[in-house]
Amino acid sequence: MMKFAILAAAAGSAAAFAPSPVAQTSTALGVTAAQKDFFGITSVDYSKALGVQAPLGFFDPLGLLTDADTEAFDDLREKEIKHGRVAMLAVTGYLTTAAGVRFPGAEDIPDGLASWQALLDTKDGMNVLMQMTAFFVVAEIVNRDADWLDNKAEFVGDYRNGALDFGWDKLSEDMKFKKRSIELNNGRAAMMGIWGLVTHEIMGVSILPGGYLPGH
């Protein structure tokens, strides 16, 4: 029953992460005079960039885009996308292990933050950590635009490098914009989600169905 409840919560959260269907034109919210005055925008207008959506619209409280050129904006956007993708994997893994799912041979490894210490306490666990480290290194190497190939990324965060497609090139421009908006918003929600899950685990307060608390 616990497994079903947690998996149901995961499915429900996925729907909550997805933004309302939007067209490319509807996401372009203009910068008001008040925003220009408050944020001190003096250079490029990023108010129509991908990710500017209701209810916040253009949101840059730290002023990172003030006087920022396109290169600086693309660098920040790439970091946002990357962190979002990692956070989506983290939320999925956290809820999956909380539901009791394990790889063969790892049945005794606890879920939540307690799993790290459990891996450090055994030789097999250390081997798993080394494999994870190797995976992270390889993932970091391959998930980037390959400058040495005769290929140009379509947008920031496009790491296909001419090898993967899955029908992307057949989509219309509006559909591509919508898909990218969904990924961006899911990543933002996941970053908040994994932070909330871990924080509540540390506090000893469950936010999962049935009051289940991972790692305890």
Query: What was the pLDDT predicted at 216?
Result: 83
Query: What was the pLDDT predicted at 39?
Result: 56
For 85-138, write each residue's pLDDT tens digit.
999 999 999 999 999 999 888 888 899 999 999 999 988 889 889 999 999 999
Query: What was the pLDDT predicted at 145?
Result: 78
DSSP string across the chain: -HHHHHHHHHHHHHHHHSPPP--TGGG-PPPPHHHHHHHT--S---TTSTT-BTTTBS--TT-TTTT--HHHHHHHHHHHHHHHHHHHHHHHHHHHHHTT---TT-TT--STTHHHHHHHTSHHHHHHHHHHHHHHHHHHHHSS--TTSS---SSTT---TTT--TTGGGS-HHHHHHHHHHHHHHHHHHHHHHHHHHHHHHHT---SGGG--TT-
Query: What was the pLDDT predicted at 32?
Result: 52
Which parts of the chain register pLDDT below 50? 1-31
Query: What was the pLDDT predicted at 56?
Result: 83
